[in-house]
Structure 1
Amino acid sequence: MGDKANAHPGAAGRATAADHPASIRNVVLVGHSGSGKTTLVEALALTAGAVNRAGRVEDGGTVSDYDDIEHRQQRSVQLSLVPVEWDGIKVNIIDTPGYADFVGELRAGLRAADAALFVVSASDEVDGSTRMVWEECAAVGMPRAIVVTHLESARAGFEEMTQICAQAFGGDDPDAVLPLHLPLHGPQAPDGHAPVTGLTGLLSQKLFDYASGERKESEPGPEQLPGIEEARNRLIEGIIAESEDETLMDRYLGGEKIDIKTLVQDLERAVARGAFFPVLAAAPAAEGARQGIGTVELLELITGGFPTPLEREAPAVTTVDGRARELTPCDPGGPLVAEVVKTTSDPYVGRVSLVRVFSGTLRPDETVHVSGHGLADRGHEDHDVDERIGALSAPFGKQQRLLTQAIAGDLACVAKLSRAETGDTLSAKDDPLLMEPWQMPDPLLPLAIQAHSKADEDKLSQGLGRLVAEDPTMRLEQNQDTHQVVLWCLGEAHADVALERLRSRYGVQVDVVPYRVSLRETFADRAAGRGRHVKQSGGHGQFAICEIEIEPLPGGSGIEFVDKVVGGAVPRQFIPSVEKGIRTQAARGIAAGHPLVDIRVTLLDGKAHSVDSSDAAFQTAGALALREAAAGAKIHLLEPVAEVTVLVGDDYVGAVMSDLSGRRGRVVGTEQLSTGRTLVRAEVPEIEIGRYAVDLRSLSHGTARFDRSYVRHEPMPQQVADRVREQTVDVA
């Protein structure tokens, strides 16, 4: 692990198909935007021999050639996979976006990986979203390590950053977060900054100097040993504290010198079971250098300290009808169970699915069963179909390298799965199975769109279908009340990427329009109306008169129709016609064009003609009676109210509650949690929280999250209602 006696036997080049799960490591890189994850991936690929010194693969392109949108926006917006090989081990490096809007890609990466590498910048603090992901990994026992980047910055301080990480990630045991190496500094520059040129191994007490562009090992001088000793002793104590050998601590405290081989083995076991979290340092390779600082040590940690897929329990598996199914973990000879963790559309080969194989072996050109994922509420239909897959390949930048198979524990790209979407399960056609889906964040930022032209309108439906097939964190809504097409996104950046993909990938130009909530209308007091529809134009005319009374009902009552006609003033056969006319008019609205609800309509009297009365005439009379009643009555505009639940750090509780009050919200309760967070519950008008996903992130510095659910419609304050009506008139 970078401290072994015979470190760095050499790189093995680009990855090929693995022949056993024990020779696979799946690691996901986690960190905030700008922490240096993609640069680190490129440095690891360079050290492993997968790219040349110019950072290019043999057949063209670079490992960061993932998406044109990423190049334009200068940030990662999607998960990417870079497989390399080190010492006979295939390492699937999963790079994830650091921006909070793309947390769905991060969750997919966590699902596909068996260990996580948290990348933090020495120039920045550990942000709240990174802490939250750490807690998610801790909840499932995922092994983790920390890499400190940007050591070339004049503000950088590895020792200080290690202490910050211990406080942020160590919880009750900060001694479980300790460095394996210390930076080796070169001559001091005129500005006082001494650049990092290598590392000092604390266990081996060796110097690993990268100053020449190649990693060179040497012994420290006598003057360097005292500075190493304190950190080395603390590391040894931290490793022994997590050792499964309960006698080791007593032997160490008794003065026994513990063999380095024993310490390395205990360290690897503690890392693999998620009990110890080593901190490493990394810096990109200098111009012309073959290796970045710390990349050899990092690859050795991944291959030696991170678990194999055999050590991970697969998510719960059932038959498609819901019966539990027990599987041997990661058995290449077992039933096929693979999961689509990412879906992309390629203009030349069509849909490409990145899959993690949890059981069995996936081979090209075989027929598999595709089982759905239960996200129908987000516009993703459930699937239960057979499909013939195309070629299997390993991605590398924009290149795809063909594979003969993908065994349990490995990741591969599958072509020609036209129906499969992210989160779907692939299994044998004669033994269909379904994996429990992973948790996806709920998209809470609405983006109302409409086609820019008639040509775009023809392509919009297909483009939106493909868009949501790729991204399960996006929800497509065809709002029946407002007649808007709404894409629900995780944030503004997520929405921008969606619009850009519609335009550039699917050739659909759309316009963003103001999002409208589903308003309602109701009568504030009793009212009466008379509908008279009498027309004579030769031959059969139209004759229908009805008199109604209206009274308001409690919220949620809908429309109640009561017949109190006596003496046959309105013939029996036409009473349903009156009701139909009233309900049709109520659905269209009576004041501002919003549906009318929560009233009782009583039919009191009317008149009919033996020849000219008809179903259509009495429907019209019913609608006219309702409109006349509304013309002389006070009408309330009802707005939807949501229950909003905010999980926020204690430091921001006051700011969140004040902000909710400013949105006409009513805080109904708070709950103090043991994790230093508070759960705030409030009822807030939906019209006030259209952009709450963006505003809350800014307010809490990315540390809070919220859920919302519809509660009821209630009367809108008069001044707000007047403003909404004015806006409705302006739009019309």
Structure 2
Amino acid sequence: DRVGANFFRVVEMIKDRLGVNAVPVQIPIGSEDQFRGVVDLLERKAILYHDDLGINWEVTEIPEDLKEISEEYRHKLVEEIVELDDELLMKYLEGEEIPVADLKRVLRKATIEGKLYPALCGSAFKNKGVQPLLDAVIDYLPSPLDLPPVKGVNPLTGEEEVRIVSEDESFVALAFKVMTDPYVGKLTYFRVYSGKLEKGSYVYNATKGKKERIGRLLQMHANHREDIDVVYVGDIAAAVGLKYTTTGDTLCDENKPIILEGMSFPEPVISVAIEPKSTEEQDKLSIALQRLAEEDPTFKVTYDEETGQTLIHGMGELHLEIIVDRLKREFKVNANVGKPQVSYRETIRKPVKVEGKYIRQTGGRGQYGHVWLELEPLPRGNGLEFVNKIVGGVIPQQFIPAVEAGIREAADRGVLAGYPVTDVKVTLFDGSFHEVDSSDMAFKIAASQAFKDGVLKGDPVLLEPIMKLEIIVPEEYMGDVIGDLNSRRGRIEKIDFVNNTRVIKALVPLAEIFGYATTLRSLTQGRGIFSMEFSHYEEMPINIQEKILSSNLKK
């Protein structure tokens, strides 16, 4: 029903741009504001809608003016289907009428195998064509029983195990979403891969090693929910009452534990300071941010002790804008936010060995901590790694956790410019202790001092987040867009040609693309679109690094 809508052109675009064999199983009756329904090509019937809510509809004969084109497209559809089944092809060549049930059976098999892609039409806004679309989901898409057994790892043995898709198998489910509901509290959405689960029963969170009780089970619909007593294999449901479960956790039978393939979430790359508009809303803001962080694993909240600010961290400007909007809309909290800040990282470029000593002698018991550390650079994305190589008891075992804690705390606070240190391997290989004066605190301080000293001696450098951009623009604007990307320190990776549009794939530092949506709109007269995702961290140019270091010193 959209202005300029053309179903047949869109099907050709799907074939051309996505490279798949899309086959119409329906054609529209009317278009734009005259869209009234759809023709079911296989059944040779028309579905007409008599209102704009999609409630009053009837199945009737195909209108006279569409009979010819309906038969033409049905003929093409049947030919595509029978080519994939020798038995039906023989019947078709002999002039027999193929039963609709047989056509649907072969089309379903071809859809599951990715050989054919049924194309349907409708209006989501006015609910026209929604009922046959749901029927097509049942008819053509794979059911849970069509899927292979699910694989996972036994947390006790570390060996791979499988669970057959069956109601009689032990229960296994994956929590894929956590949501805060104003009426029932924390809702955990999960998908059942094997077995069944009854409300009021207990499940084992194999990822966290915790036992959880299922208070209520809910079947979620668009704008309402329905209490259910049991959920079966293949179902998606929401549970109320799970305390420890977060996105990506595996729920299973405690007697047969298994961990399914989890979800990996990138670290946030952008942060802003946030504060409530009035002091009365401080508690409401804290609670709201905590709930949002439970829902979204890529959103984090921290408190900067030096500045006294609450910082929210996310995957981009839009991500944090949506968070702030949800605070206002769902939690009724009005907040002020600062300018976006890029989450840089610090690392070293050469290995060093450093000594850290903390010795204090007061009137009573003194303090004594002494460590030798070796710092080595690691490949990008490896984080901070601590290795204990102490032998012979030169540092007693009870002080090793304090050494690691001192290193990790120093790394989190940063050395060069206050950004977290990453991609460094820290090896504790020597040191000494005092029978009376040594303590956890002394070793923690000694390790922290040694680590800071090592980073400064290890040719430190700042790392910046690099974003992967995909920009789709009409050909006539490509030069301007590429020129703008070059001015933002961007690297063009690839340019694809799709009809008269260009798909530009580039890597650009996050610091250079704040507000890019507005720039792209003005460069392309509103016709350019882009998507962005985090790619990796890499060393920044020395001149940019010096600017950041000098601006941090001024602060």
TM-score band, normalised by the shorter chain? 0.5 to 0.7
Aligned partner of 1:228 among 56, 70, 76: 70
In the TM superposition, what whole-angstrom CA distance separates every residue of 1:663-704 from its partner, at most 9, and x where no partner exists? 345x4x84689999776457x4x6435566997899894454
- Residue 716 of structure 1 aligns to a residue in which SS? helix
Correspondence for 2:15: 166
Q: Is the 8 A contact 2:465 2:534 kept in 1?
A: no
- Residue 469 of structure 1 aligns to a residue in which SS? helix
Q: Is the 8 A contact 2:270 2:314 kept in 1?
A: yes
Correspondence for 2:452: none
Query: Structure 1's 407 and 197: CA in aligned 2 closer, same or farther, altered over 3 A?
Result: same
Following the alignment from structure 1 to structure 2, what is the Cα–Cα distance between the partners of residues 284 and 643?
Answer: 37
- Residue 215 of structure 1 aligns to a residue in which SS? strand
- Residue 327 of structure 1 aligns to a residue in which SS? strand
Correspondence for 1:262: 102
Q: Is the 8 A contact 2:271 2:341 kept in 1?
A: no
The structural deviation recorded for 1:644 is 5.0
1:371 aligns with 2:206: yes
* AA in 1 matched with 2:59: K
Following the alignment from structure 2 to structure 1, what is the Cα–Cα distance between the partners of residues 164 and 231?
Answer: 16
The structural deviation recorded for 1:334 is 1.2
Following the alignment from structure 1 to structure 2, what is the Cα–Cα distance between the partners of residues 414 and 323?
Answer: 28
Q: Is the 8 A contact 1:642 1:712 kept in 2?
A: no
| Map 1:34-73 → 2, pairs under 5 A | none
The structural deviation recorded for 1:452 is 5.4
* AA in 1 matched with 2:167: P
Following the alignment from structure 1 to structure 2, what is the Cα–Cα distance between the partners of residues 670 and 322?
Answer: 44
Following the alignment from structure 2 to structure 1, what is the Cα–Cα distance between the partners of residues 244 and 521?
Answer: 35
The structural deviation recorded for 1:205 is 3.0
Following the alignment from structure 1 to structure 2, what is the Cα–Cα distance between the partners of residues 556 and 482?
Answer: 32
Q: Is the 8 A contact 2:151 2:260 kept in 1?
A: yes
Q: Is the 8 A contact 2:26 2:121 kept in 1?
A: yes
Q: Is the 8 A contact 1:444 1:693 kept in 2?
A: no
Correspondence for 1:449: 274
The structural deviation recorded for 1:467 is 1.4
Identity of aligned residues (%): 26
Q: Is the 8 A contact 1:555 1:713 kept in 2?
A: no
In the TM superposition, what whole-angstrom CA distance separates every residue of 1:548-571 from its partner, at most 9, and x where no partner exists? xxxxxx9667897999xxxxxxxx
The structural deviation recorded for 1:162 is 2.9
Q: Is the 8 A contact 2:177 2:190 kept in 1?
A: yes
Query: Structure 1's 728 and 430: CA in aligned 2 closer, same or farther, altered over 3 A?
Result: same
Following the alignment from structure 1 to structure 2, what is the Cα–Cα distance between the partners of residues 268 and 179?
Answer: 14
Following the alignment from structure 1 to structure 2, what is the Cα–Cα distance between the partners of residues 311 and 334?
Answer: 16
Correspondence for 1:410: 235
Correspondence for 1:633: none
The structural deviation recorded for 1:415 is 0.7
1:179 aligns with 2:18: no
Structure 2 length normalisation: TM-score?
0.66
Following the alignment from structure 2 to structure 1, what is the Cα–Cα distance between the partners of residues 279 and 180?
Answer: 24
The structural deviation recorded for 1:436 is 0.9
- Residue 514 of structure 1 aligns to a residue in which SS? coil
Root-mean-square deviation (CA, aligned residues, Å) is 4.9
In the TM superposition, what whole-angstrom CA distance separates every residue of 1:470-498 from its partner, at most 9, and x where no partner exists? 11232445679988654333444432332
1:688 aligns with 2:530: no
| Map 1:587-598 → 2, pairs under 5 A | none
Q: Is the 8 A contact 1:180 1:278 kept in 2?
A: yes
Following the alignment from structure 2 to structure 1, what is the Cα–Cα distance between the partners of residues 517 and 33?
Answer: 43
Aligned partner of 1:277 among 117, 120, 127: 117
Correspondence for 2:312: 487
Following the alignment from structure 1 to structure 2, what is the Cα–Cα distance between the partners of residues 492 and 588?
Answer: 24
Aligned partner of 1:511 among 336, 340, 361: 336
* AA in 1 matched with 2:137: I
In the TM superposition, what whole-angstrom CA distance separates every residue of 1:613-670 from its partner, at most 9, and x where no partner exists? xxxxxxxxxxxxxxxxxxxxxxx997544455556679798666544432345x4x84
Following the alignment from structure 1 to structure 2, what is the Cα–Cα distance between the partners of residues 285 and 509?
Answer: 31
| Map 1:94-493 → 2, pairs under 5 A | 150=1, 153=2, 155-169=4-18, 171=19, 173=20, 176-185=21-30, 195-211=34-50, 213-218=56-61, 221=64, 224-241=66-83, 243=84, 245-249=85-89, 252-253=92-93, 255-283=95-123, 293-313=128-148, 315-321=150-156, 323-372=158-207, 383-397=208-222, 399-438=224-263, 443-450=268-275, 462-476=287-301, 485-493=310-318
The structural deviation recorded for 1:358 is 1.1
Query: Structure 1's 283 and 712: CA in aligned 2 closer, same or farther, altered over 3 A?
Result: closer
Q: Is the 8 A contact 2:149 2:164 kept in 1?
A: yes
- Residue 120 of structure 2 aligns to a residue in which SS? strand
Correspondence for 1:40: none
1:710 aligns with 2:553: no
Correspondence for 1:497: 322
Q: Is the 8 A contact 1:444 1:490 kept in 2?
A: yes
* AA in 1 matched with 2:72: E
Q: Is the 8 A contact 1:370 1:387 kept in 2?
A: yes
* AA in 2 matched with 1:339: L
- Residue 326 of structure 1 aligns to a residue in which SS? strand
Query: Structure 1's 262 and 710: CA in aligned 2 closer, same or farther, altered over 3 A?
Result: closer
- Residue 432 of structure 1 aligns to a residue in which SS? coil
The structural deviation recorded for 1:405 is 0.3
- Structure 2 portions without partners, runs of 5+: 358-366, 371-409, 422-458
Correspondence for 1:124: none
Following the alignment from structure 1 to structure 2, what is the Cα–Cα distance between the partners of residues 396 and 518?
Answer: 39
In the TM superposition, what whole-angstrom CA distance separates every residue of 1:19-70 from its partner, at most 9, and x where no partner exists? xxxxxxxxxxxxxxxxxxxxxxxxxxxxxxxxxxxxxxxxxxxxxxxxxxxx
Q: Is the 8 A contact 1:697 1:703 kept in 2?
A: no
The structural deviation recorded for 1:280 is 1.8
Larger Rg: 1
| Map 1:648-727 → 2, pairs under 5 A | 658-664=483-489, 667=491, 670=493, 680=506, 684=509, 687-689=511-513, 701-712=528-539, 715-716=542-543, 721=547
Q: Is the 8 A contact 1:337 1:358 kept in 2?
A: yes
Following the alignment from structure 2 to structure 1, what is the Cα–Cα distance between the partners of residues 30 and 482?
Answer: 48
* AA in 2 matched with 1:229: E
Query: Structure 1's 218 and 328: CA in aligned 2 closer, same or farther, altered over 3 A?
Result: same
Following the alignment from structure 2 to structure 1, what is the Cα–Cα distance between the partners of residues 291 and 217?
Answer: 21
Aligned length: 455
Q: Is the 8 A contact 1:482 1:517 kept in 2?
A: no
In the TM superposition, what whole-angstrom CA distance separates every residue of 1:244-286 from its partner, at most 9, and x where no partner exists? x235446535655434442232223323443322222224798
The structural deviation recorded for 1:469 is 1.1
Q: Is the 8 A contact 1:519 1:637 kept in 2?
A: no
The structural deviation recorded for 1:508 is 5.7
* AA in 2 matched with 1:214: W
Deviates more, 1:305-314 or 1:700-709: 700-709
Structure 1 length normalisation: TM-score?
0.52
